[in-house]
Chain A
């Protein structure tokens, strides 16, 4: 039961990374791919109908973490207090940028929110990547099962690490590149004209850079977590995830001209696979510790089995309803040609 809910949680987070990540990538890129107001409208309109439902995946994933693994939420959120407060401000800025920009026809107002959205999207991608890096690397949980991390200490991976060290910064950078690539592939598929050409050019070098970063990251993970070698030998099938992430990225890179939607979907699959790589490597921990004995596992962090079982009764129908909403949104938006024409 705990493993099932762990999978559900990874699925919901992964969907946020894929869909919300697209919006973040577009947010990062929009200053560079759009050179005038008309192009900017084109870019933003491609995500405006979907960014709110996409972001709800993050909220729902947070709710699911609370429901299924309350101890993990309690320990992780209080331990990452400083980083989370930053993330909250960034989420606020970005959401407001998307919504408030259009309500005043003023150049300064537009410039402010455009830059705010771009910068906050970039920093959010970095933060989310660094957060994942922290979880994979393990946090300094003490014997009482709690921890507190400052934003950084000496950037080494050691016993008393900060939220930012060389490893988590590396994961953060990989996340920025991965999501920017995702945003470029989305624009490549969903808009036309000059903007599409620019997005295409960006994707042509973002893809290879990302692949190199991922290889570096995979090697670095073994350096940051010596125990991963053991994990790989007990679950050798886990290798399928990094391999399919690479495959997805290659497919996205090569097919982005001939089949732009296929390329975007391949990149989505690659993002899921990257997240799975990370989660398989930590399983059965949900919050690994620098001292392995103190780790929070899915068993000792989970809510009571009865709670988990009763939640399945509503979660399964719920997810089908949500799938219906998304199918409806996307079919309606495709129906009348390119996005942006109301």
Chain B
């Protein structure tokens, strides 16, 4: 194992472990804000629920902070040369995150947790709003940073080989960032909703705190239903189209689509075999990949073999499985939340113990899906190899598409 692999593993572990917390914090921030809004309209039960979740939010936030500081430091400790090249550009979004988002979040979190009497109901609602806004803003700057690594815009390469920012506006309006941001935030909301619904289901199954638990469930299931659907359509769809357009070999690898075909099939399950370049034991829906990609059932979809080998992502089976775990779990989330929402609408949810069991047991899976999603995004491109900085200059000389320019 060479040094670069060790650095990748260390950074990957830091990033994956860190993201367990922000996804919950960002999801809960929205839900707490919704509960506080209901409380402001006189729903005392929602206010009690918001106090309960604010405490969990506080712990998750603290863990997010202490696991996030290492990520910032590790840009320097592990990817020194990458930082040197790109700091003038992504340093902007990272510093903006500190100045605009973190200060807002950290300043008002204490008031959200302990300031209800100090600030009064209206002031407390504002604190909840600012914590939500701050946490989602921080998500934007981080996703903006990641998006630049996927799809760099608004910069030029100097003669010294470093990236120079030419347009801050272009950096912040990177189309990749907007699509990725929406998909990421929807994913975080799903985590928040499944956590809240799972805890509500747990209390109802134990017949404890039933009034609170019902409020948890009703809010989490309604928002969770919307978010689960939005993760696929439209945000997941937009994200996939972005990958098709700018990183076509990555898309083919994610889908396990090796050979160019009309009426390309969508593979649901199956193992990619890198010797034969086929999917072993596939379960597939004919034509669906063509339809989802180009909205025509018999459109041609480029396969991986259409691209030169050096453009292929490095670890295709891992990429394929990460993507399929995310998409598969996402589909299951839609099914669970649709069923729960239907039962809620028929006022049968609290009495359906089988559904409560499903909701409770589903709690960890959004964390897995979000982690798999980030791995899908991080594995193929954007590997900042410290050993070869000149590739940045040679492959990313313009601002046009450049997948895998960090290799």
Contacts and interface: CB of A to CB of B under 8 A. Distances in A.
A binds B: yes
Given A91-B66, A336-B118, A67 B91 contact: yes
Contact of B76 (A77, A103, A314): A77
Interface in A315-342: 315, 318-319, 321-322, 325-326, 328-329, 332, 335-336, 342
Contacts of B65: 52, 55, 95
Contact of B91 (A68, A98, A314, A318): A68
A329 to B, nearest CB: 6
Contacts of B238: none
A158 interface: no
Contacts of A318: 96, 99-100
B84 A71 contact: yes
A342 B98 contact: no
A76 B110 CA distance: 34
A325 B99 CA distance: 11
Interface residues of A, number: 61
Interface stretch (B37-45, B101-109, B324-332): B101-109
B110 A304 contact: no
Contact of A48 (B69, B97, B100, B110): B110
A248 to B, nearest CB: 26
A326 B107 contact: yes
Interface stretch (A58-66, A126-134, A216-224): A58-66
Given A63-B97, A310-B165, A325-B104, A49 B110 contact: yes
Interface stretch (B55-63, B216-224, B255-263, B298-306): B55-63
Nearest to A319: B99
A92 B87 contact: no
A243 interface: no
Interface string A7-24: 000000000000000000
Interface residues of B, number: 56
A78 B73 CA distance: 9
B162 interface: yes
B107 A92 contact: no
A116 interface: no
B94 A325 contact: no
Contact of A328 (B92, B94, B107): B107
Contacts of A70: 83-88, 91, 162
B271 interface: no
B81 interface: yes
Contacts of B165: 303-304, 306-307, 310
Contacts, number: 186
A306 B166 contact: yes
A95 B109 CA distance: 15
Interface string B186-219: 0000000000000000000000000000000000
B99 A60 contact: yes
A4 to B, nearest CB: 15
Given A67-B92, A88-B73, A310-B168, A56 B98 contact: yes
B72 A62 contact: yes
Contacts of B117: 342
Given A95-B62, A99-B62, A310-B168, A74 B106 contact: no
B103 A56 contact: yes
Contacts of A87: 73
Contacts of A326: 107
A311 B84 contact: no
A73 B75 contact: yes
B73 A99 contact: no
A63 B78 CA distance: 16
B59 A100 contact: yes
A151 interface: no
Interface centre among B67, B88, B100, B102 (most CB of A within 10 A): B88
B92 A59 contact: no
Contacts of B97: 63
B95 interface: yes
B396 to A, nearest CB: 16
A314 B99 contact: yes
Contact of B164 (A52, A78, A306, A313): A306
A53 interface: yes
Nearest to B115: A332
A15 B110 CA distance: 20
Contact of B94 (A63, A80, A92): A63
Contacts of A75: 80, 84
Interface in B133-171: 158, 162, 164-166, 168
A84 interface: yes
A73 B86 CA distance: 11
A85 interface: yes
Contacts of B114: 49, 342
Contacts of B58: 99
A96 interface: yes
B289 interface: no
16 contacts: A56-B98, A63-B94, A63-B96, A67-B87, A74-B80, A75-B80, A88-B70, A92-B66, A95-B65, A146-B80, A303-B91, A307-B88, A313-B168, A314-B96, A325-B103, A336-B118
What 6 pairs across the A-B complex have the smallest Cβ distances?
A70-B87, A77-B76, A67-B91, A303-B88, A60-B98, A63-B95
Given A49-B114, A66-B72, A325-B104, 7 more contacts: A50-B110, A77-B75, A77-B83, A84-B73, A84-B76, A315-B95, A329-B110
Interface of B: 55, 58-59, 62-63, 65-70, 72-73, 75-78, 80-81, 83-92, 94-100, 102-104, 106-111, 114-115, 117-119, 158, 162, 164-166, 168
